[in-house]
Structure 1
Amino acid sequence: MVNTFENAKERVTQTPSLVIDEHTVRQNLSRLQTYADSHKIAIRPHTKTHKSQQLARMQLESGCRGLTVAKVGEAAVMSEVCDDILIAYPAIDLSRRTRIAELARNHTMRVALDSLQGIDSLAESATAAGSCVGVLVDVNVGMNRTGVSTAQEALALATAVARYEGPLRLDGIFFYPGHIWEPAQEQQAPLQEVDERLGEVIELWRSAGLQASIVSGGSTPTAYQSHWVSSQTEIRPGTHILNDMNTVRAGFCDLRDCGAAIVCTIVSTAVSGKAVIDAGSKTLTNDRNVTQPDSGFGHCLEYPAARITRLSEEHGELDLSDCANPPALGERVTIIPNHICPCVNLQTQMQFQTLDGSLTAMEIDTRGMTS
């Protein structure tokens, strides 16, 4: 394949360096927006992947409805570029819900919740702040991480939110089909199971006089099959803007759709059959590939037969057993990581390769915001 990062590889001043390619990013955004428009589904992308106001602006300009974040620190930063933000994470502790309630004074803030305690606590904070926070009831559709498991539990939570009219607003349903990693052509059945479960919740709410105006779900692996969940009104993919070896090896995109890469330097070839790059677990993370866990810790564009077999904090070891022409000491190579989201979070800055091929430094605005 053509190495989109070939120009950047020789121009970055230091390695390892995270490079984002504008052309690929814009193609990824346009493709998904075209799909979503054709199926009348809104996009509320999850910014945990890129953690950048500049990339968030590009998403909004491409047609996205609003933004999704995980933590309230991210919400505060992203509220500078967007007025409609969903926090896809339970707001239980006092600090988190107080900050959310304060942001809701001047912005549309929504939170996914799955407990009566969470609802009561958020209502208390919103009352104290004199604001109104939208609530999406989190329904477990198979990921088994958060969310209530029955329609009756979802109704109980929705009823509780509705009673707090004023500090809280019942906006709808939240779900995450993160357990679905089947090939795209095999996702119809599991997604229709999700749709049936959501339909049961929606019908029970309707019979109680409650409405789910928003049904928010989606993921990058299921993004282009979202129409199989007929009740869904918006999707929250994150990785799709940049992609990585998880989405490539699972068949959800091609290497040419990867808009982010780590430019590295070969710093040692002293051990026979090996090369060492200056990117270890503090750059590439120890995340194994979701569908091919034995494929290594990323993919080297210049030497596709090489496997990144072991990471220590600052060293990445490439097994060159299958390489006819091994890399040279001091050579720069380009790595597509397994999981781009934590890789971005490990950097303080990324290099943005613009459409004309120039590089500009881009801040990672919500780096390290874990609360």
Structure 2
Amino acid sequence: MVNRFELAKQELVATPALVVDLPTVERNLQRLHSYADQHGLKVRPHTKTHKSRRFARMQVEHGSVGLTVAKLGEAEVMGQESSDILIAYPAIDPDRRRRVAELARTHTVRVAVDSQYGVSVLAAAAEAAGTTIGILVDLNIGFPRTGVPTPAAALELAQQVVQAGKHLRLDGILIYPGHVWAPADQQEEILTQIDQKLAETIELWQAHGLSVDIVSGGSTPTAFQSHFVRSLTEIRPGTNIFNDMNTVRAGFCELDDCAAAVIATVVSTAVPGKCVIDAGNKTLTSDRNVLQPDSGHGHVVEYPQARIIRLSEEHGEIDFSGCDQTPQLGERVTIIPNHICPCVNLQDQFYLQTPEGIEKLNVDARGLLA
């Protein structure tokens, strides 16, 4: 891999630092939208990965129909870049549902729900605000985190949305295939099974007079196989804009498709066979690789045989016993993290590497957990 972050390594003042390569981001966005256009799918990307208005604006400019968020703080920030926001997370607590209803004054706002309680409290919040909230019924299609379990349960919840009155609008169905990490060429069967459950749900709704305008799904691991879920109208990949070692080691992209990296400095070589960098779990997070949990806490670009064996808060320990050489004290190295999304959330700022040079930008939605 050619180290596209070499310029940033030379110019950065302080490490550890998150660097994003703009041309790689552009290439990732173009590939995704080209695929979606080819298969008649809309794109509503999840902004949890970048948490940046700059990148949200780029996604909209490339043709995204709206933006996806998890939390209301993110919705309020990303609402400055798109008038169409999907909150793919249960809006249950009082402050959250009140802010959802308020945001709906100026934006098209949709929320994923999987409970009658969620329907009733959102209806009450929207009525109090005098607004209308769009609802997507969350259907569990194999990743047992949220979502009603069956087509019949989805119908029952959809009917409750309609019965809740004019302040809620039934817009469709949301799914999340988070359990699908099979190689791309082995996903067709499981995605077809997901489509069968979706098709059964849609048919049941239609038999009871309910329309399904939006069927929202997708993930980065399944993004370019989404056409096997024929019922989908839109996809919501997040990590795809940057990629990371999870997507690399799973075979969903190449190292050259990783747009974000952490530049770190070697601060100690006192222990033979390894070094310590100034990026610990407060920079790289403790996330292990999804498919190769023993591969270490990321990939060292300059020393591909090295392994980041342990992280404490501010120390990253790298084993160089499998390398022909070891870095020098004070040397800077480039780390592709296992999971880029929480790494971004740990940063107040990042460095954007463009053909014209380096820009320093804020992580606009950093830490907005409510």
SS of match in other structure, 1:284: coil
Corresponding residue number in structure 1 for 2:231:
231
Measure how far apart 1:162 and its partner are: 1.1
> 2-side partners of 1:321 and 1:2: how far apart?
23
> 2-side partners of 1:4 and 1:238: how far apart?
22
1:118 and 2:118 aligned: yes
Corresponding residue number in structure 1 for 2:358:
359
Corresponding residue number in structure 2 for 1:208:
208
Corresponding residue number in structure 2 for 1:29:
29
> 1-side partners of 2:155 and 2:209: how far apart?
11
Mapping of 1:1-371 within 5 angstroms? Answer: 1-356=1-356, 358-371=357-370
> 1-side partners of 2:73 and 2:319: how far apart?
40
SS of match in other structure, 1:283: coil
Measure how far apart 1:164 and its partner are: 2.7
Letter in 2 for 1:220: T
Letter in 2 for 1:370: L
- If the length of structure 1 is used for normalisation, what is the TM-score? 0.99
> 2-side partners of 1:180 and 1:262: how far apart?
28
> 1-side partners of 2:361 and 2:46: how far apart?
19
- Cα shift readout 1:21-47 (whole Å, capped 9, x = no counterpart): 000000000000000000000000000
> 2-side partners of 1:168 and 1:124: how far apart?
9
Measure how far apart 1:252 and its partner are: 0.2
Letter in 2 for 1:328: Q
SS of match in other structure, 1:279: coil
> 2-side partners of 1:325 and 1:362: how far apart?
35
Measure how far apart 1:165 and its partner are: 3.7
Letter in 2 for 1:198: L
Measure how far apart 1:306 and its partner are: 0.5
> 2-side partners of 1:20 and 1:280: how far apart?
19
Number of aligned residue pairs: give it.
370
Letter in 2 for 1:284: L
> 1-side partners of 2:111 and 2:355: how far apart?
36
> 2-side partners of 1:234 and 1:144: how far apart?
21
> 2-side partners of 1:100 and 1:144: how far apart?
25
> 2-side partners of 1:115 and 1:17: how far apart?
42
- Cα shift readout 1:112-132 (whole Å, capped 9, x = no counterpart): 000001001100000000000
- Cα shift readout 1:224-253 (whole Å, capped 9, x = no counterpart): 000000000000000000000000000000
Please tell me the root mean square deviation across aligned C-alpha atoms, in Å: 0.5
> 2-side partners of 1:193 and 1:10: how far apart?
50
> 2-side partners of 1:198 and 1:332: how far apart?
49
- Cα shift readout 1:287-306 (whole Å, capped 9, x = no counterpart): 00001000000000000011
> 2-side partners of 1:30 and 1:330: how far apart?
38
> 1-side partners of 2:344 and 2:176: how far apart?
22
> 1-side partners of 2:106 and 2:297: how far apart?
43
SS of match in other structure, 2:219: coil
Measure how far apart 1:173 and its partner are: 0.1
> 2-side partners of 1:362 and 1:45: how far apart?
21
Measure how far apart 1:81 and its partner are: 1.1
- Cα shift readout 1:196-224 (whole Å, capped 9, x = no counterpart): 01111100000000011000000000000
Letter in 2 for 1:233: T
> 1-side partners of 2:88 and 2:369: how far apart?
13
Letter in 2 for 1:11: E
Letter in 2 for 1:141: I
